[in-house]
Amino acid sequence: MPVRLGALFPKRAPKRRLFLPKICCQFCTLRETNRTMDQRIINLFDEYTHAPLTRKEFISRLAKLTGSLTLAMSLLPLLENNYAQAATVEDKNIKTEDITYAGADGVTMKAFQARPEGKKKLGAVLVIHENRGLNPHIRDVTMRVAQAGYLAIAPDALSPFGGTPANEDEARALFSKLNTQQNLTNFLRGLEYLQKHASGNGKTGCVGFCWGGALAAQLAIHSPELDAAVAYYGRQPEAADVAKIKAELLLHYGGLDERVNAGIPAFEQALQAAKVKYQLYVYEGANHAFNNNTSPARYHEAAAKLAWERTLALFGRTLK
């Protein structure tokens, strides 16, 4: 059921109207109508999830933007993740388990693994989460990869701190404490785990989202054995490092994601100069995190579906 939010009027307007969303117990998904939410609200939430902005300051700024604290609080369910949407349905054809593997400097890396039951010689995919850690949404994505016929693992970047905490603000805060080189090595070890897995065929790919999209590019730079890398709305690497990439790249961006998209021209120029094989798509009308179906205000169903079809097509060409 579409949820409509009226446009916010300028501050000098004598009256300000907002059509309050009808929030059902399932937090009605906005789907294509997510663009009806004032873009300033989505941009503010994007700033909150990526910048050192406290929840108190975020709520305060949201209240000023909407005109009242009551309205600000009513919008939160549409902005924040609702993991009930990511409830992974059990599939008897897919074997899932929580695993560990050796990371850098003695760290034991935790990961969620999914693979088709009883199948061998599978292409393998490393799934890299956003800056919220290994949560139900990423487990669901990992299941989707396995259902498409691949061996898949999703490492928990916050393993050095004991794993992803339930509180997302706490999780985001821990990302700034990660050692960059150690974290990169931890994920490179994840690729090694997949390359040596008894059910694998030795070919590996990765797919990352947001923070994970940026890391997917770094894995392509630092792992010459990687066959394919897919980055969803990830920050671009330094142009000087692009020539090291051997994997085929697939890059997905939301057309409304000005913050991340600012780095596209320099990145694409470097890719072309280095003759890296890549595909780049910008999905008009889609925001940052458009693939995340647990984030009602930003999820864009059409863009997510098309991007996923393209992702699986790349894996089909390179990993099987």
Active site residues: 210, 257, 288
Q: Encode burial over 82-97: b for 16+ CB neighbours within 10 A, e otherwise.
A: beebbebeeeeebbbe
Total Cβ atoms within 10 A of residue 1: 10
> What distance in Å separates the CA atoms of residue 97 and residue 117, rounded to the nearest whole number?
12
Closest to 91 measured CA to CA, from 153, 135, 149: 149
Give CA torsion, residues 140, 146, 147, 150, to 10 deg: 150
Residue 25 Ramachandran class (φ > 0 left, ψ -120 to 50 alpha, else beta): alpha
CB 279 within 8 A of CB 251: yes
- Three-state SS for 316? helix
Closest to 260 measured CA to CA, from 227, 235, 289: 235
- Helices (H) then strands (E): counts for the chain: 10, 8
Backbone angles phi, psi at 102, to 5 degrees: -75, 125
In the block, which residue shows the tokens 């604290």?
Answer: 69
CB 55 within 8 A of CB 169: yes
Instruction: Compute the Cα dihedral for 155, 159, 165, 170 and give only its sign.
Output: negative
> What distance in Å separates the CA atoms of residue 166 and residue 213, rounded to the nearest whole number?
22
